[in-house]
Amino acid sequence: MPCALNLETIQDLLNEKRGRVHLLGVAGSGMSGLARLLLERGVSVSGSDLKETTTVRDLCGLGMIFHQGHAREQVKGAALVAYSSAITPTNPERTQARALGVPEVRRADLLAALCVDKKCLVIAGTHGKTTATSMLTQVLRQAGKNPAFYIGAEVPELGRSAAWTDAEYIVIEADESDGSMTSFFPSSCVVLNIEEEHLDHYESIVEIKEAFSVLFEQTRERIIYCVDDAEANGLLQQNLRGIGYGFGEKAHYRILNLELNAIGSKFTIFRGDEEVGQLQLIIPGQHNASNATAVCAMALELGIPFLAIQSALARFGGAARRFEVKFFDKDWMVVDDYAHHPSEVRATLAAAKSRGYKRILAVFQPHRYSRTLLLKENFAHAFDDADLVFFTDIYPSSELPISGVDGLTLPDTVKAAGHAGVVYSGTLAGVKTDVSQQLLPGDMVLVMGAGDIYTVALELAADLKIFRKVESLVEGRGVLKAYEPMRRHTTLRVGGPAQIWLEPEDEEILGKAVAFCAKESIALTMIGRGSNLLVKDHGIRGICVHLGRKHFQRIDIEGKFIEAGAGVRLKEIVFAAKKAGLGGLEFMEGIPGNLGGALRMNAGAMQSWIFETVASVRVMDREGSIQEIPREKIDVAYRSVPLFRDHIALSAKLFGKAEESARIQDTLAQFSKKRWSSQPAAPSAGCTFKNDETIPAGKLIDELGLKNTSVGAARISLEHGNFIVNDGGAKASDVLALMEKVKETAERARGIRLEAEVIILGE
Q: Which residues are catalytic?
A: 129-130, 173
Q: Is 477 exposed, middle or buried (0-12, 13-18, 19+ CB in 10 A)?
A: middle
> Around Cβ 510, how many Cβ atoms within 10 Å?
26
Contact 648, 510 (CB under 8 A): yes
Of 231, 187, 228, 237, give the one whose Cα is nearest residue 212.
231
Task: Yes or no: say if 83 and 151 are a contact pair by the CB < 8 Å rule.
Answer: no
- The residue ranges of DSSP E strands in 560-646, in sequence order, are 561-565, 582-583, 604-605, 608-609, 614-621, 626-630
Q: CA gyration radius for the chain?
A: 33
Full DSSP string of 8-29:
HHHHHHHHHT-SEEEEETTTSH
* Distance from C-alpha of 472 to C-alpha of 689, rounded to nearest angstrom: 41
Distance CA 341, CA 375 (A): 8
Do residues 339 and 449 make contact, with C-beta atoms less than 8 angstroms apart?
yes
Residue 669 is inside which H or E element, if any?
helix 661-678
How many other C-beta atoms lie within 10 A of the C-beta of residue 494? Answer: 28
Phi-psi domain of 478 (left: phi exceeds 0; alpha: psi -120 through 50; beta: other): left
- The answer to whether the CB of 421 falls within 8 A of the CB of 388 is yes
Q: Which residues contact 728 (CB under 8 A, 6 or more apart)?
A: 713
How far is residue 375 from each of residues 241, 277, 310, 369, 399, measured CA to CA in Å? Answer: 33, 39, 37, 10, 16
Cα separation, 225 vs 244, in Å, equals 5
> Could you tell me which of 638, 635, 593 has the C-alpha nearest to residue 614?
635
Q: Are 182 and 202 in contact (CB under 8 A)?
A: no
In the DSSP assignment, the letter for residue 607 is T
Nearest-5° angle of CA 545, CA 549, CA 550? 150
Query: For residue 657, what are the β-bridge partners?
Result: 583
Task: Taking the CA atoms of 728, 733, 734 and 735 in sequence, report the sign of the dihedral they define.
Answer: positive
* Residue 694 CB partners (closer than 8 Å, separation 6+): 752
The dihedral through the CA atoms of 137, 397, 360, 489 has a sign that is: positive
